[in-house]
Amino acid sequence: MAPQSIIALAGNPNAGKTTLFNSLTGSRQHVGNYPGVTVEKKEGVYLCDGTPLRIVDLPGTYSLTAYSVEEVVARDFLVNDRPQVIVNIVDAANLERNLYLTCQFLELGIPLVIALNMIDVAKDRGIEIDAARLSQLLGLPVLPIIARSGQGTADLMREAARLATHQQEWQPRRLSYGEDLDQILMEMEARITAAGLLTDTHPARWLAIKYLENDEQIMAMGRRADPDCAAALADMATRVTDHLQATVATYPEAMIADHRYGYIKSILRQGVMSHAYDTDRLYTSDRIDRVLTNRFLGPVCMVAVLLALYHVTFTYSQLPVEWLSDLFDWLAATVTALVPAGPLRSLLVAGIIKGVGGVLGFVPLILLMFMGIAFLEDSGYLARVAFMMDRIFRAFGLHGSSVMPYIVSGGIAGGCAVPGVMATRTLRSPKERMATLLTVPFMNCGAKLPVLALLTSIFFAAHQAQILLLLTLLAWGMALLAAKFLRLTVLRGEATPFVMELPPYRLPTFKGLLIHTWEKTWQYIRKAGTVILGISILLWAMMTYPGLPAATTAQFAAQRATALAAASPAVVTEYQQSGRANLSPVARQLAARLVAIDNQQSEEALRHSLAGRFGIALETLTWLPGFDWRTNIALVGGFAAKEIIISTLGTAYSLGEVNREETGSLAKTLARSPHWSPLTAMALIVFIMFYSPCFATVVCIAREASWKWSLFSMAFNTTLAFLLATLVYRLGSLCLAL
Ligand code: GDP
Ligand code: MG
């Protein structure tokens, strides 16, 4: 009777495969060659509690790339013959190097059992391995054996047989390879899946990784199967290779290997391995990590790093931000002088220059922030931040792998929740993934950052860096609390163990920093020039039309006429003829009166506009957190994109006061406005931080989860933000009143 299940023995050379194979199969073995190559193929039969299992001894390999015939034979056998289970024999005395191959089996997704061999040798060398802990962290069965004496092999095979009878789908594991590679891998994977390129045998992400590793054999297979798709993939691989060369002077293969080793290291350092004899072989990276990821010093260093980053960003961006703001003021004044009053001027000045200019004005700040973050990321420090956060995250029902999505979304300031939501794909547990996905929009993304910077620069100028640090901590705190709440209610479930990649520290190259910084800054600028511009114009129209009824306009005209009639003819002539700078006191009074009437009229027009009426209607709710109707318009607009909050405030306040003599930047206008105080600003900041994710994020959540969750996220976040902002405003008012 032909045995049904194939069990493949795989592992590094000299891990003990042949020893195990011989002890399992005894005389029931057959030696031949793999078809087409002279690599020895051994097959045999093992009786597991009476059930025969076909055992195949694969050639020993260190990896599954196409570097050697053995590697190609091994992986071709795996994908073509589809053994039910791999028994991965791992040399316990060289665990770190041996697990490298294991990573690649994980990515292939074949059911895997780890045979932790040579535990006797390891013990002799003073290495103690906690197999249960290793099994928990890897999410795989790990069974300690001594192949030479046969100890533990019966249990091992029983476990393998158990897995083999469970005919399961391959479940490829997704390791993270850093932001650059993950991004392109995602795109390549989508492309491969769409084209169905070799996907009947290979997992899509695995194929994409092979393209990045420049695997000739896979690339040739790809070309034969679908030349167009293969060419596109090769292009993408070349693009990211050039990019890595330019930024960190390395190749994707090296980057991938680094991350695999990082993954292994972080498993091993979580109590899996203990050395009885202290090995003095600490590498520089490990030595730095002794301080930077120390349980007590680590968090202190982290807060110091953040504070320094914020401080540098605010300090050095202040002047250029002012210059840009002056530049846009000058532009507005010039256009006002050149274009006759009317809808066109209003559109240009209030809609476009104030709207888009307000957003573009923050480019220096964004640029510096991105540069700082690029430095932290390229140096490898961000991975350590994630590593340290794990303990805290677990207490809140999240996963260590949730940290990276948080950081991508703006956990440090200035990211974006869209890639953040997509980055949650590396989480294996669906509930932990949902909890992460729903809370990443709480981070201070690059669109919220200018709004926060603007408000803090007006009302808390002396402590901007400290306030931003506080807001960062608040964002993380609320995100964790919300996650805990979700995990206790709608997303109840088990926690899964955490393994985090710790790549070695690297000194970032200057060129690399510039490229990373510029890419993100350019995205910000491009968004301002496209999406923000479009929505600004739309909102301007909604804030301008339908205009005042004729009767009201006539009333204002009458008021003006009365003011002119009340003044003596000489004063009127002086007012009409001379420039506004050198008026006599009486004429200046007349001018002020007329400006006041104009302002009243434009405010009335704004109130009467579509957006104005909506904003006023919302005041029935927003009086609680202290938002006026202009702010309401900005907040509703902010749903389209959070930058819109600045541009809409800019438009709203400039529409309301087109004729004010000293029209200045939004910052000056808000600082002057009687409605605004540090308390209103703080309540608004809190609301902006936590209310509904922007439209793009909502769509992304729908794609990654479902529309139900998108709607949930909008409602949940807005309610939370409203409660928090009300709390801040009302408690603050109380405290101030005392
Ligand atoms: P392969 O290259 O993976 O087929 O490895 P082999 O089965 O040829 O084993 C390599 C060497 O390790 C041989 O000398 C084995 O006797 C020895 N060996 C295998 N398993 C054990 C074990 O559990 N303990 C010890 N001490 N030696 C082992
Ligand atoms: Mg052998």
The string of DSSP letters for 670-705 reads HHH-TT--HHHHHHHHHHHHHS---HHHHHHHHHHS
Residues ≥6 apart with Cβ < 8 Å to 627: 618, 619, 635, 680, 683, 684, 687, 725
Tokens 């709710």 belong to residue: 621
Q: Which ligand is nearest to the CA of 117?
A: 1
Q: Which residue minimizes the CA distance to atom 28 of ligand 1?
A: 148
Q: Give yes or no for a cis peptide into 504 (omega within 30° of 0).
A: no
Residue 26's H or E segment, with its range, is none
CA of 32 to the centre of ligand 1 (A): 22
CA of 146 to the centre of ligand 1 (A): 9
Q: Is the CB of 19 under 6 A from ligand 1?
A: yes
Superfamily classification of domain 6-166? P-loop containing nucleotide triphosphate hydrolases (3.40.50.300)
Question: 43 forms bridges with which residues in the sheet?
Answer: 30, 56
Burial of 43 (C-beta count, 10 Å sphere; 0-12/13-18/19+)? middle
Q: Is the CB of 425 under 6 A from ligand 1?
A: no
Q: Is the CB of 271 under 6 A from ligand 1?
A: no
CA of 19 to the centre of ligand 2 (A): 7
CA-nearest of 388, 483, 361 to 432 is 483
Best of 9, 12, 19 for a ligand 1 pocket test (most atoms within 8 Å of beta carbon) = 19
Residue 579 one-letter amino acid = G
- Where are the domains positioned within the chain? 6-166, 179-250, 297-510
Q: CA–CA separation, 253 vs 251, rounded Å?
A: 5
CA of 218 to the centre of ligand 2 (A): 26
- Secondary structure (DSSP) of 432-486: HHHHHHHHGGGS--TTHHHHHHHHHHHH-GGGHHHHHHHHHHHHHHHHHHHHHHH
Tokens 């028994």 belong to residue: 87
CA of 88 to the centre of ligand 2 (A): 13
Q: Which two tokens stand for residue 605?
A: 């027009």
Q: Do residues 147 and 119 make contact, with C-beta atoms less than 8 angstroms apart?
A: no
Tokens 């709004």 belong to residue: 451
Angular region, 117: left φ>0, alpha ψ -120 to 50, beta rest = beta
Burial of 415 (C-beta count, 10 Å sphere; 0-12/13-18/19+)? buried
Q: CA–CA separation, 158 vs 174, rounded Å?
A: 28
CA-nearest of 676, 690, 693, 672 to 727 is 690
CA of 173 to the centre of ligand 1 (A): 29
Q: Is the CB of 630 under 6 A from ligand 1?
A: no
Q: Which two tokens stand for residue 54?
A: 């076909």
The phi, psi pair for 115, rounded to 5°, reads -100, 110
Given a cut of 70, the residues of the chain with pLDDT beneath it are 1-4, 27, 36-38, 167, 276-283, 498-501, 578-581, 656-664
Question: 55 forms bridges with which residues in the sheet?
Answer: 7, 44
Nearest 5 degrees, angle CA 251-CA 253-CA 255? Answer: 70
At 179 the pLDDT is 83
Q: Is the CB of 118 under 6 A from ligand 1?
A: yes
Helices 297-338, 381-395: inter-axial angle, 10-degree rounding: 110
CA of 14 to the centre of ligand 2 (A): 7
Q: Which two tokens stand for residue 579?
A: 């420039």
Question: Hey, is 503 helix, strand or coil?
Answer: coil
**45-103 pLDDT per residue, tens:** 998 888 899 999 999 888 888 777 888 889 999 988 889 999 999 999 889 889 999 99
Q: Which residue minimizes the CA distance to atom 24 of ligand 1?
A: 118
CA of 8 to the centre of ligand 2 (A): 13
Q: Is the CB of 150 under 6 A from ligand 1?
A: no
Best of 14, 70, 151 for a ligand 1 pocket test (most atoms within 8 Å of beta carbon) = 14
- Secondary structure (DSSP) of 422-435: HHGGG--SHHHHHH
CA of 20 to the centre of ligand 1 (A): 8
Q: Which ligand is nearest to the CA of 89?
A: 1
Q: Do residues 593 and 563 make contact, with C-beta atoms less than 8 angstroms apart?
A: yes
Pairing mode of beta strands 127-129, 273-275 = antiparallel
CA of 62 to the centre of ligand 2 (A): 13
Q: Is the CB of 60 under 6 A from ligand 1?
A: yes
Q: Which ligand is nearest to the CA of 19?
A: 1
Q: Which residue minimizes the CA distance to atom 19 of ligand 1?
A: 16
Q: Is the CB of 120 under 6 A from ligand 1?
A: yes
CA of 17 to the centre of ligand 1 (A): 7
Q: Which two tokens stand for residue 463?
A: 């402590």
Radius of gyration of the chain (CA): 32
Best of 9, 148, 149 for a ligand 1 pocket test (most atoms within 8 Å of beta carbon) = 148
Report the first-to-last Cα separation within the chain, whole angstroms. 90
- Ligand 1 atom nearest residue 12's Cα: 3
CA of 387 to the centre of ligand 1 (A): 36
Q: Which ligand is nearest to the CA of 41?
A: 2
The phi, psi pair for 98, rounded to 5°, reads -70, -30
Q: CA–CA separation, 619 vs 638, rounded Å?
A: 17
Tokens 């301080």 belong to residue: 291
Q: Is the CB of 116 under 6 A from ligand 1?
A: no
Q: Is the CB of 148 under 6 A from ligand 1?
A: yes
- Ligand 1 atom nearest residue 147's Cα: 23
Q: Is the CB of 18 under 6 A from ligand 1?
A: yes
Pairing mode of beta strands 127-129, 40-48 = unpaired
Q: Which two tokens stand for residue 359?
A: 């957003």
Q: CA–CA separation, 618 vs 641, rounded Å?
A: 19
